[in-house]
Structure formats: structure tokens, C-alpha cells
Structure 1
Amino acid sequence: MATLSLLVFEDVNIGVPWGHICGRWYGNRVERPILAIHGWMDNLGAFEQLIPLLPDYLGVLCIDLPGHGRSSRLPAGMHYSVYDYVFIIPRVMREFGWPKVSLMGHSLGGVMSFMYAAMAPKSVDMIISLDVLLPRKIGDPGKLGQDIEKCLEEEQRQADGNQHEPHAYTLNHLRQVLARSSNNSIPQDMAHHMLRRQVTKSQMYPEKLFFSRDGRVKFYQLFDIEEGLAAEMARRIQKKPYLIIKGALSPFVGPRCQETISILSKDNPNFEFYDIQGAGHHVHLHAAKECARYIVPFIRAHRPPSAWNYCSKL
């Protein structure tokens, strides 16, 4: 079976009112691809371990969400939220004229996929969700207030310019920071997949680097989907092909997801759920082969090779 190559891609820039969304389109450029959306504080590099394991007859468009990777930040005075991120999906669809979208999302990207599939079920034909289903529950409301204050402080720091850069680190230290902040879900030896698109050379300390993603994304606002709403959203998705892959060591698909999973899977032969033993939250990064074992047949079942693909190989 031929697979995609990390070396065969086209960088794309999608214009938006505040700038652009950067993406990287692997493989087939003639047919509608799978839209791959990374998680919070990550970027499209998170899919680099998985891409070379996917079948080459279908393209995959990986994007950097606003404020992440190489995509534009939201303007000053605007703030990031899960609900607003969902608008990125139809923006990309309109850019390329897609009547439907096939979604593959990790963490925040998986939450976006669930929300959009529930809001516009006729526009989605397939969902692959990597170690997530619902957003994590909002705990302490006081934490939200603290995040608002920190976001305003970060906005002021950015307005002050380079004299107040973020903390700068050596490259080796950045790997350690990324591993530690992800609870080693991003191993140090795989940190380069993420760092390539989210670090900038410091002007104050030329031998060091700092994270170039928008510092405000650290304080983005969650969209708390309580159990009753989650159940109704799942019913709207109905019997769509839905694959959930969970890292066994991760808490992100927990007990509060059980009712939603029950609804999605009821009388749905196209629903699949797998638990990857020994894997953490970035399951598609450090356990890519195990994920591909389930993702590849799922893609082949629900986005099989087209007649165009067959003819192009004759």
C-alpha cells in the first residue's frame, strides 16, 4: 500500500479578515482532502508522525489554527475561544469550495470537529477524533477570571513591543519545556515536530529562542458542553462515521463522555472506539503506528479511492 510522503506537499495560505491561516496540503490536490486540526498550543507539525502512514490516494490538509504555528494572530482586543475556533472549519471549506468536509482533530481540533458536526451535520461526512470528544469541564470559575486578567496582561506586553519579549530558552531547554508542559505527552525526541513552526530567535538574547505562538492562546475560553447539551449534539450527528482513538494514559475521554459515546454508537455500524495502551494525550505523535492501524481502514471504508484515482494510476 502506497502512503503519503512528508516531502510531497504544498504550503497554502488562506486569507481571512485578520490575516491568513497557514496550512500544508499533503498528497492528492485534485480531490477534497481530510482536514486535520491540531490541539491547543500545538501546530500542524503534530501530524508529521502520522501523515507518512496514511494512504496516498487521498490528500490531507493540515492547518495551523489562529495564534498557533505560522497562522496570523487575532487582532489586539480580540480573545480566543473554542466556539470562535469552530468558524475556521467553514472558512476553509468556502476557500476551496467544498460541499462537505472530512475531519480529523486532536484535542481542541477534535472538540471543534464534534461541535461543527453537531451544528452542521449535513456538511460533515466523517470524523476522526484523537484523544478527545468533549471539552474538559470548567472547574473553578475563579480560574476563568484569572485567565482574563492574564490575557489582558499579555495583550499589554505585546503592545509594548520587543523590549518585553516572552521568556527565551536554548533549543535543548525548549524541548524540555515542551515535554514538561505536556506531561511528557510530547517526548523530547519528538519536540522538533512542534518547535519548527512555533519558535523565533530572540532579539535580546541571540543565542536563545522563544515561543512565537500568540501568548493569549494560553488563556482561551472554554465552551462548557454540559451532559444534556452534549447528548442532544450527539443525536444531531446521528449515524455518521465516527472514529475515536484514546490514549489509555490520558484522562481526556473520561466518564462524562460515556452518554455521548453511547448515543453516537447506538445502531451505528460506522462508529469505532479504540484504546491505545501505554499512550498519552498526543497519541498520534508518539503512537502513530498504533493509531494508523485503525485510521487507515476507517479512511478506506468511508473515503475509498475514487474512479479518478484508479484511472490516474493506469
Structure 2
Amino acid sequence: MSLAFEEVRLSLSHIELAAHLYGPEDGRPVIALHGWLDNAATFAHLAPRLHGVRIVALDFAGHGHSDHRPAGTDYALWAYAHDVLMVAEQFGWQRFSMLGHSMGAITAVLLAAAVPERIERLALIDGLLPYTSEADEAPAKLGDALRAKLALEGKRKPVYADLERAVKARMTGIGAVSYEAAELLARRGLMPVPGGYTWRSDARLTLPSPLRLSRAHAEAFVRALQCPVSLVLAEQGMVLAQPQLETLLASLPFDIHRLPGGHHLHLNDETGAQRVADCFNPFLGSP
């Protein structure tokens, strides 16, 4: 299932972002947030199946067709959260919902907990908590990040002779995906260069985080959520691969749906997209 979308560029005060618009202009406002190293095309199968909503599917900064952050800056989750608020301001949305996958789901949780007065609902796909580390690990983590940042100057992105090779490379990347899903992500995520194609994404996105939230910090954001939350978990996904999260999940007042499929179950095929839509349509469309 594929419906036409509108391609737009959003000129924020600090950066220009690209996005796909789906649904009627008078639909309930939803900002859709993709996962790490993905792009707005991750919602190509799901967004047309969601009814009565106006979806702004962003390319996060440094991803897809959005601008990269200026030199000397980083890609922290809270910077993405600020971008989302600025997008909502541009559309005049004082209250809105968020649809997030993976890193996009995590960003949505942080934003909703921080500014609960702005967020109506959260629809999350196989993402909840960021990667965490404790205080005694912080010096080593910062050292690793600084060394990696220095080494990045000498690295070059891979160049693929044709689209087919890039698609096959993406199939086995972070969160392995089907050929169809990889092709959708690659067509939006690639740019032509001498010798073939390479990824548009900012190479700094692959750097390790200089500082991570502790587990207590991360859980505090989840427990601070005030809006209704619908969480889809993939049976072969990343959240359920962390057994330590079971106790937390059992204590949360979320609508939790466990569906067959991998981390990109909403994109890998039409069946998975429909299953996710069946979970979210009553939730996003209800008053």
C-alpha cells in the first residue's frame, strides 16, 4: 500500500529539516520520528494505513535529506527533542502526538516527559530507553568518544558501484531489514558521488556518545510520562532482547502489543505494517 506524500523542507531557526507529509490537513497532528541511520522512508508502509491523522515524518538532522549539524556540535537525543518542538512550533501545533521507532521512540519519550503539556499521545515501535551507563563508566566512555572523534577525520564513507550493492549492505546493517525495506531507506539515504553512491548521513552519527544517561535517569523519564502510551514490541526486536526490561514493562500503564517480526516490523513488509496500524489506529484516532 502506497499513497502519495508531500515532500517539504522546514526552515527552523537553527537548521533546515526535510519531511514527508501524510494525511488530511485537518487530521490530528502527529510527528513521526525514525530510528538511528534511517530516514522518513521508514514510515512509507505504515503512514498511509493510519487514519484521520496529519503526519509529519521527519528526516532527523544528519539523516536523509535534512541538513547536518554545524561543525563542532553533536547529535544528542535532547537536541533532536528540541528540533521536534521547533517543528511543532512551525506548524502551530501547541499539542501533538508522536509516532516513534527505535531512536525516534526514545526521543519521543524524553520530549513527552520533559514537556508533558505539549504531548497528547505516544505511539512507540520497538524503542523505549536509550543505552545507559553508570557513573563509574563515564570517564572511559568520554575517552572512547574523544578518541573516535579525532580518528573520524581520516575515515571515508563506503562507495557502492550501484544501488543494488548499497541496498544489500543496508539489509545487514543495524537492525537487519528486508530487501524492500532496505531499498526504501537506501533510495532516500543515498547520494551520487564519483564511482557510485554513498550515504547522505553525517559520519558523526556513528561516533560513540560522550555521555550517557544512567539507568535511573532513563527510567525517570519513562515514569514521568503523563500521556497515554501505546508500545509495539517486536518478538525478534531489540527491546525484548533485553530481559532486564521485563520488570519495568510490567509496571508501566502502557498499552503493550507484542507482534511477530523484527526491529523494523512496520517497514519490512505490508503484513507487518498492517499489524502495527491495527494497534495504532484506535489509539491515535480516539478522542
TM (normalized to structure 1)?
Answer: 0.80
- 2 CA distance for matches of 1:126 and 1:292? 20
Matched, 1:149 2:136: no
Q: Provide the residue aligned with 2:126 in structure 1.
A: 131
Matched, 1:35 2:38: no
**Residues 96, 120 of structure 2: 8 Å contact kept:** yes
Distance 1:152 1:87, change over 3 A: farther
In our comparison, the structure showing a higher alpha carbon Rg is 1
**Per-residue displacement from partner, 1:234-268 (whole Å, max 9, x unpaired)?**
33214x32111111112334234334434431xxx
Q: Provide the residue aligned with 2:188 in structure 1.
A: 197
**Residues 39, 108 of structure 1: 8 Å contact kept:** yes
- 1 CA distance for matches of 2:85 and 2:265? 27
- 2 CA distance for matches of 1:303 and 1:223? 38
Q: Provide the residue aligned with 1:311 in structure 2.
A: none
**Residues 239, 245 of structure 2: 8 Å contact kept:** no
Q: Provide the residue aligned with 1:310 in structure 2.
A: none
TM (normalized to structure 2)?
Answer: 0.87
Aligned residue among 256, 264, 268 for 1:273: 256
**Residues 138, 222 of structure 1: 8 Å contact kept:** no
Distance 1:283 1:290, change over 3 A: closer
**Per-residue displacement from partner, 1:196-249 (whole Å, max 9, x unpaired)?**
21111112x2xx1111111111115276443433443233214x3211111111
Matched, 1:174 2:166: yes
Distance 1:144 1:181, change over 3 A: farther
Q: Provide the residue aligned with 2:281 in structure 1.
A: 299
Aligned residue among 38, 56, 62 for 1:67: 62
Identical aligned residues as a percent = 25
Number of residue-to-residue matches in the alignment: 282
- Structure 1: gaps spanning 5 or more residues: 158-163, 266-270, 306-314
1:135 positional shift: 1.0
- 2 CA distance for matches of 1:129 and 1:223? 24
Aligned residue among 87, 99, 108 for 1:104: 99
Structure 2 letter corresponding to 1:121: P
**Per-residue displacement from partner, 1:103-128 (whole Å, max 9, x unpaired)?**
11011100001111111112111111
Q: SS where residue 53 of structure 2 aligns? A: coil
- 2 CA distance for matches of 1:180 and 1:293? 24
Aligned residue among 173, 198, 206 for 1:218: 206
Distance 1:143 1:13, change over 3 A: same
Matched, 1:24 2:20: yes
Structure with greater strand share of residues:
2
- 1 CA distance for matches of 2:210 and 2:219? 18
Distance 1:5 1:283, change over 3 A: closer
Distance 1:32 1:276, change over 3 A: closer
Matched, 1:58 2:53: yes
